Every structure is written in C-alpha cells, then in structure tokens.
Amino acid sequence: MQDVSIELHIANRKYPLKVKQGEAGSVEKAAELINSKLQSLEKRYGVKDIQDLFAMSALQIATQLIELEASQTSDFASVERQLEELSSLIDQELIQSKA
C-alpha cells in the first residue's frame, strides 16, 4: 500500500504525517477524537494547561481501550465455552446413534 501525506490539527498545532493510504481515515478520526476529548475536558473541569488535558485524555482513551479489550476477551471465552458445549452434545448424539 502506498504512503500518503496528511496534515492533522491537534490542540491548535499542525502535524504533517505520512501514513499508509488505508490508515489515513483512522488516523484522522483518532485526531478528531483527541480534539474532542481535549475540548470536553477543558469545558468540564476548567483546565487550561494543555499537558494536563493531554494526560487526562490519554488516560480516558487508554481506559476505554483496556475495557474494550477485556470485553472482547470475555466475549471470546463465552463463545469458546458455547462451542465446547455444542461439540460435546454432538459427540454424545453420535455415540448414542452408534449404540
């Protein structure tokens, strides 16, 4: 995949980047999320220090990521258990049908 140049605006600063063409949309969406978090935290807490806002935003986003990963792991384990139960039921039926 080819690299493309994009320019992100985060906290009133410009960041020129080269990213893979297929990743440009995700990177731009991530920048929008960061800006949204910064604005929301500034309004909610009245914090003006950009470094504090970045730290608080990073903490929120990282926490959401960890919760999402935990949820997916839990969902995967649930599906795996259900598949094992189904496999066991199939095995039982096959054994009974042979008898």
Domain boundaries, the chain: 3-98
Mean pLDDT value across the chain: 92
Confidence (pTM) = 0.71
- The 10s digit of each residue's pLDDT in 8-52 is 999 999 999 999 999 999 999 999 999 999 999 999 999 999 999
Q: Please state, in angstroms and as integers, the Cα–Cα distance from residue 21 to each residue in 3, 14, 51, 54, following that order.
A: 5, 19, 30, 27
Contact criterion met (CB below 8 Å) for 21 and 1: yes
Q: What is the pLDDT of residue 1?
A: 76
pLDDT-above-90 percentage for the chain:
69
Is the pLDDT reported for residue 99 higher than 80? no
